[in-house]
Structure 1
Amino acid sequence: MKRVIIGLSGGVDSSVAAYLLQQQGYEVIGLFMKNWHDDSVTISNECPWLDDSNDAMLVAEKLGIPFQTVDLSEQYKERIVDYMFNEYEKGRTPNPDVLCNREIKFDVFMKIALDLGADYVATGHYCRKGTLHKNGENVYQLLAGVDVNKDQSYFLCQLSQEQLSKSLFPIGELTKPEVRKIANQIGLVTADKKDSQGLCFIGKVKLPEFLQQQLKPKEGIIVEVPKTHEIYNEDIPNFDTVEEKLQYQSKKIAYKTSYGKTVGKHQGAHYFTKGQRKGLAVGGTTEPLFVIDTDVNENVIYTGQGKIHPGLLKKALFVSNDELHWIREDLAINNGETMNVEARIRYRQPLQKATLYKVETGIYVAFENYQSAITEGQFVAWYNNEELLGSGVIS
């Protein structure tokens, strides 16, 4: 029997995944990851990890599989929380869930599992793994989950061939209602449990309070830039090369306070992110205000009215070489080459037609249509049909 260690999170997805592995004849061991101790920043009164770990234990008991808890809070703080603070401080918006999978679940956790003699590590992610044979070797594919509403392949966009080779995703072929139905049929305590929300492992967090642990509040101004400002109506120059054009399309506008009027105050530009609407506390505008940019050095938030404010829209983005990642290394393009793909810049965004352009310093992703709130620090992932080929951090 092959041994599989599953990350039992105390949710319905990983519970059913464990049951399915058992049905498939694997020797299954459940491991709960405890990654967080500080409950002072969670929104709900209950202590999320304690409830989750109890539920995970009850599921393991019900299935008759061994169960233990591993404390990874030190690595989590170092690799995820510190990284997040660092990114917010720079005025970028990190994606902790993508990092958590790359750094914790499929790295630290996977190493522990392999040391315990596991052949595979399994999780309750809605995605699938494919295997191709190419030049006498196995090539692993990361495929979208069958449930379009729940597909979580985006969160795994930084996995490597090595990590994929040791991974199993038992519920990738199922829809969420099917998963709940199985859980109900076999009487799992997690069958009707709500999906977890908030930061991977920490639970629902008040982000400003969480960030305030390290990033101190600092009063600054909110500036509203009108849609009609001349910066949005510049004449488009003539370009000698495709790269020049892409550079132009992906460049960040350098806003100045003189471009608009001061409409309010805030407690720290690093608490806000592009495209954000809530938390500005500015009323009296015809359309809602959205954050179009933040300047953490000057501590200014730039805003604009309405979802289609030109300050939110862009057609291209750039990923530098050191933040570029191919799951399918065999398909990576070289300098001067292009590839037609479908891409998304955030979880659950419908896939958008795009073209990749590889240049010396990195890769441009040029979209067919304008994208709203392309945000530095977030991940862009590109696909060919159902297969996620690669990803990178938006710079």
Structure 2
Amino acid sequence: MFSADLQYGVRLVNGKKRILVGMSGGVDSAVAAMLLAREGHDVTGATMLVWDGSFQLKETARSACYGPGEARDVESARSAARKIGIPHIVVPLAEEFRRQVVDYFRSEYLCGRTPNPCLRCNQVVKFGLLPEMCRRMGVDFEFFATGHYARVERDSASGICRLLKGMDRNKDQSYFLCRLTQEQLRTLMLPLGGLTKTEVIRIARAEGLADLVERPESQDFVEADDHTALFRPEEMKPGPIVDVAGRVVGVHRGIAAYTVGQRAGLNVSSSERLYVKEIRAQANTIVVGTREDAETSCCLAVDVNWIAGEPPASKFRCLVRHRYRNAGAMAEVQTRGRREVIILFDEKQFGVAPGQGAVFYDGDAVIGGGWIRSAQA
């Protein structure tokens, strides 16, 4: 299925293929498209239009997934495609993105959970609706590619596609792809999976894409100083901050501004460092405690997606990452049906936030991932 590109050491498909590349306007997706084009494949770049103007956000210099500065990213992607020598299309997905990602994001925060819009977007929009819409627009392609730092390998014996960590451990993005299906993985190409960010930058400079290296990377979901810009004033209702004994120690500015494990911005008076332990949405109350209070030895994850289609066993041990920036911890995972698991950590974990993704690893391989529903079993 794969061959090696001798110039850059990137594993690409054998023979000339028709490939659609999701281009964000950044250096990673541009280099991914360039590598595939240089291999002689028939490459088309596609950029999503997702900003719908539903919120009063001011355009800033920062790049973000959702905001009025989207036109800059589209023009950057179009310019990169022109330099690479490939056609580029713009795909209108604002209505779908609002419904599938923005509404989800808002709903989760208002329910006291901490959403992960990248997991949601990748599952439904970027690897789902984007290629589907491109086909409707008449683009003929066999593979879909992105600039994610992760790898896909096909097991010749079973035919199962495995999702693996990227070789650059500092940039690995396999966590964000944990909800992809076998159908999506079979036609997925990740040209940067075997490269480091340093190598990608070197390639960009060598191939005339140096301007993209200087562009700030998109780190935020919303183009604003604070994600609460997506909430109306009446949705940000102040309420009590209480300690674990139930004593009122402060006032919060609206539960959508907080996440489990948070310390900054609490504005409480205490001789100890306090962290958000729990968010009680129905009572509009934030519970704080010491760091130890905000630790847990178990959690419940729901709507689990298994990369191979099924869990490896009814009970198994693996590394579990409960946030993207979390290094991971060993745990026993116990299945409850096909889509629900209890995670029993070997050691207590800090800041396990309902709404985040729990992603399971066997070495470099992603076993699957689900949504943390409760920081207790």
- TM-score strictly above 0.5: yes
Distance in structure 2 (CA, Å) of the matches to 1:204 and 1:315: 35
Between the aligned residues of both structures, percent identity stands at 34
For the residues of structure 2 that align with 1:222 and 1:143, how far apart are their CA atoms?
42
Per-residue CA shift, 1:85-128, capped at 9, x if unaligned? Answer: 22222212211010000010111012123442111111110000
How large is the RMSD of aligned CA atoms in angstroms? 1.9
Output the CA distance in 2 between the equivalents of 1:219 and 1:151. 38
Instruction: Map 1:340-355; keep pairs closer than 5 Å.
Output: 340-355=317-332
Query: Are the aligned partners of 1:211 and 1:271 in contact in 2 as well (CA < 8 Å)?
Result: no
Q: 2:355 aligns with which of 372, 377, 385?
A: 377
The answer to whether the aligner puts 1:357 opposite 2:334 as a matched pair is yes
Residues 1:25 and 2:40 are matched in the alignment = yes
Between the aligned partners of 1:23 and 1:31, the Cα distance in structure 2 is 18
Which of the residues 160, 164, 171 maps onto 2:185? 164
Distance 1:269 1:112 in 2: 36
Query: TM-score w.r.t. structure 1 length?
Result: 0.83
Task: State the partner residue of 1:290.
Answer: 275
- The CA deviation at 1:324 is 1.6
How far the C-alpha of 1:345 sits from its partner, in A, is 0.4
2:218: which partner in 1?
196
Q: 1:302 to 1:146 in 2, by over 3 A?
A: same
Q: Which residue of 2 aligns with 1:245?
A: none
- Secondary structure of the structure 1 residue equivalent to 2:37: helix
Q: CA separation in 2, counterparts of 1:17 and 1:67?
A: 14
Residue 44 of structure 1 corresponds to: 60
Q: Is 1:314 the counterpart of 2:321 in the alignment?
A: no
Alpha-carbon distance in structure 1 between the residues aligned to 2:179 and 2:251: 37
More divergent stretch after superposition (286-295 vs 5-14): 286-295
Is 1:270 paired with 2:256? Answer: yes
Matched letter for residue 350 of structure 1 = A
Q: Which moved more, 1:45-54 or 1:84-93?
A: 45-54
**Residue 134 in structure 1 maps to residue 161 in structure 2:** no
Tell me which stretches of 4 or more aligned residues in structure 1 moved more than 4 Å.
none
User: Equivalents in 2 of 1:190, 1:203: separation in Å?
Assistant: 19
Give the Cα–Cα distance (whole angstroms) in 2 for the partners of residues 2 and 20 of structure 1: 13
SS of match in other structure, 2:214 = coil
Which structure 2 segments of 5+ residues have no match? Answer: 1-15, 63-67
- Which whole-Å CA distance do the structure 1 matches of 2:188 and 2:316 have between them? 28
Deviations 1:68-90 (CA, angstroms, capped at 9, x unpaired): 21111100001111112222222
**1:267 to partner: Cα distance:** 2.3
Q: How many residues align?
A: 348
Out of 278, 298, 301, the residue aligned to residue 286 of structure 2 is 301
Match of 2:142 in 1: 119
Write the letter of the residue equivalent to 1:63: I
Higher helix share: 1
Q: 5+ unaligned residues in a row in structure 1: which ranges?
A: 226-258
Residue in structure 2 matched with residue 35 of structure 1 by the alignment:
50
Larger radius of gyration: 1
Residues of 1 paired with 2:311 and 2:281: CA distance?
38
**1:138-180: per-residue Cα shift (whole Å, max 9, x none)?**
2101100000000000001100000011111111111111111
- Please tell me whether the aligned partners of residues 224 and 261 of structure 1 are also in contact (alpha carbons under 8 angstroms): yes
Is 2:80 aligned against 1:59?
Answer: yes
Q: Distance in 1 between matches of 2:343 and 2:228?
A: 31
Equivalents in 1 of 2:356, 2:350: separation in Å?
A: 13
Report the CA distance shift for 1:129/1:102 in structure 2 as closer, same or farther (over 3 A).
same
TM-score (normalised: structure 2): 0.87
AA at the equivalent of 2:342:
Y
Query: Would the alpha carbon gap of residues 318 and 331 (structure 1) be closer, same or farther in structure 2, given more than 3 Å must change?
Result: closer
The yes-or-no answer on 1:339 pairing with 2:316 is: yes
Other-structure match for 1:182: 203
Q: Is residue 209 of structure 1 aligned with residue 229 of structure 2?
A: yes
